[in-house]
Amino acid sequence: MMADRENIVVLTGAGISAESGVATFRDKDGIWSKFDWQKLATPEAFESDQQTVYDFYNTRRHKLRDVSPNPAHEALARLEREWGGGFTLITQNIDNLHERAGSQALIHMHGEMMKIRCAECETVTPYDDDLSFDLACRACGESGRMRPHVVWFGEMPLEMEGIYRALQEADLFVAIGTSGAVYPAAGFAAEAQAMGARTLELNLEDSDITPRFDAVRRGPAGAVVPEWVEELLDA
């Protein structure tokens, strides 16, 4: 019986958005099998070939207009609404499907695709249209220096303090649809476990961090997540 006052921390990765039609990164025909992350998702890439980085993110931003949250996103939003204890949702994803499903206690540790940031003054702005050199920063006026508000390789993920606080207080840590290939996110299960949390992995298949979990459930997130949430709320 899960006491209502227990604190749950959920970490999601690209696998939770796969059934919505958003490409994952390391599956068979994933994004990094077609594109070189070193040429597209690093600050150096942005400095050396800004237009190519713009094209890469504009293409993905366009695709986001044609996809919707799936039952896994909706189940997590329901859990947040109906759960009696603490609930924190950390996502590695830069899509906006969790918020569109109604999640609010949400940490986008790798940033958000539908926001842009001035590379000069760091001001972040929601923005739906294409990234281009013509864009000027509304805060400092600098033009041609707007970048996706996304954490690239080698950059510090966002809200790390809040994340480590949530991991410290977690009674249950659940990873959904992540390969456990990218740090520091891939280290969260071990950290939570070391601080006394039980750990559960919901994934289509084994990941790099499966050995870190007390329990695993295998299957597509769209089926496994609603099932798990139903059980939790009915307990």
Q: Are strands 124-126 and 111-118 parallel, antiparallel or unpaired?
A: antiparallel
In the complex with ligand BV8, the residue whose CB is nearer, 73 or 110, is 110
- Residue whose entry in the numeric block shows the structure tokens 């540790």: 109
In the complex with ligand BV8, the residue whose CB is nearer, 141 or 162, is 162
In the complex with ligand BV8, the residue whose CB is nearer, 25 or 173, is 25
Q: What is the DSSP string of 11-32?
A: EE-THHHHTTT---SSSTT-HH
CB of 121 to ligand BV8, least distance (A): 22
CB of 150 to ligand BV8, least distance (A): 5
Q: Give the Cα-Cα-Cα angle 223, 80, 93 (nearest 5 degrees).
A: 65
List the catalytic residues.
110
Residue nearest to ligand BV8 (CB): 15
In the complex with ligand BV8, the residue whose CB is nearer, 26 or 171, is 26
145-156 burial, b if ≥16 CB within 10 A, otherwise e?
bbbbbbbbeeee
CB of 207 to ligand BV8, least distance (A): 4
Q: Give the Cα-Cα-Cα angle 3, 222, 33 (nearest 5 degrees).
A: 120
Can you give the binding site for ligand BV8, defined by CB under 6 A?
Answer: 13-15, 18-19, 24-27, 30, 41, 92, 94, 110, 150-157, 160, 177-179, 181-184, 203-205, 207, 220-221
Query: Per DSSP, what are the bridge partners of residue 116?
Result: 125, 148
Q: In what order do the strands lie in the sheet with 146-150?
A: 124-126, 111-118, 146-150
